[in-house]
Amino acid sequence: MIVVISERATDAEVETLIKGIEARGVSAREIVGEEKRVFGLVGDVASIDAEALMRNDAVENVIRVSEPYKLSGRHFHPIDSVVEIAGPGGAEPVRVGAGNFLVAAGPCSVESEEQVLKIAQDVKRSGAGMLRGGAFKPRSSPYSFQGLGLDGLELLKIASRKTGLPILTEIMSPEYLSDFERDVDVIQVGARNMQNFTLLREVGRLGKPVLLKRGPSSTIEEMLMAADYLLMAGKAQVILCERGIRTFETATRNTLDLSAVPVLKKRSHLPVMVDPSHGTGYWDLVEPMALAAAAAGADGLVIEVHDQPSCALCDGQQSITPMVFDALMRRIERVRAAIME
Ligand code: PEP
Ligand code: MN
The H or E element that residue 243 is part of is none
User: Between β-strands 27-32 and 167-171, what pairing exists: parallel, antiparallel or unpaired?
Assistant: unpaired
Could you please report the per-residue DSSP string of 246-299?
--S--SSSSB--TTHHHHHHHHB-S-EEE-HHHHHSSHHHHHHHHHHHHHTT-S
Q: Tens-of-pLDDT digits for all 341 residues of the chain?
A: 899 999 999 999 999 999 999 998 898 988 877 788 999 888 888 788 888 999 999 999 999 888 889 899 998 899 999 999 998 988 899 999 999 999 999 999 999 999 999 999 999 999 999 999 999 999 999 999 999 999 999 999 999 999 999 999 999 999 999 999 999 999 999 999 999 999 999 999 999 999 999 999 999 999 999 999 999 988 889 999 999 999 999 999 999 999 999 999 999 999 999 999 999 999 999 999 999 999 999 999 999 999 999 999 999 999 999 999 999 999 999 999 999 88
Count of CB atoms situated within 10 Å of the CB of 127: 15
pTM: 0.91
In tens, the pLDDT along 288-332 reads 999 999 999 999 999 999 999 999 999 999 999 999 999 999 999
CB of 138 closer than 6 angstroms to any ligand 1 atom: yes
The H or E element that residue 85 is part of is strand 83-85
Three-point CA angle 218, 241, 315, nearest 5°: 90
Q: Are the C-beta atoms of 39 and 3 separated by less than 8 Å?
A: yes
> For a substitution probing ligand 1, which of 119, 131, 170 has the most ligand atoms within 8 Å of its CB?
170
In tens, the pLDDT along 8-31 reads 999 999 999 999 999 988 989 888
Taking the CA of residue 315 as reference, the ligand 1 atom at the shortest distance is 3
Ligand closest to 196 (CA) is 1
Q: Are the C-beta atoms of 256 and 290 separated by less than 8 Å?
A: no
Q: Let me know if 338 is exposed, middle or buried by CB neighbors in 10 A (0-12, 13-18, 19+).
A: exposed
CB of 107 closer than 6 angstroms to any ligand 1 atom: no
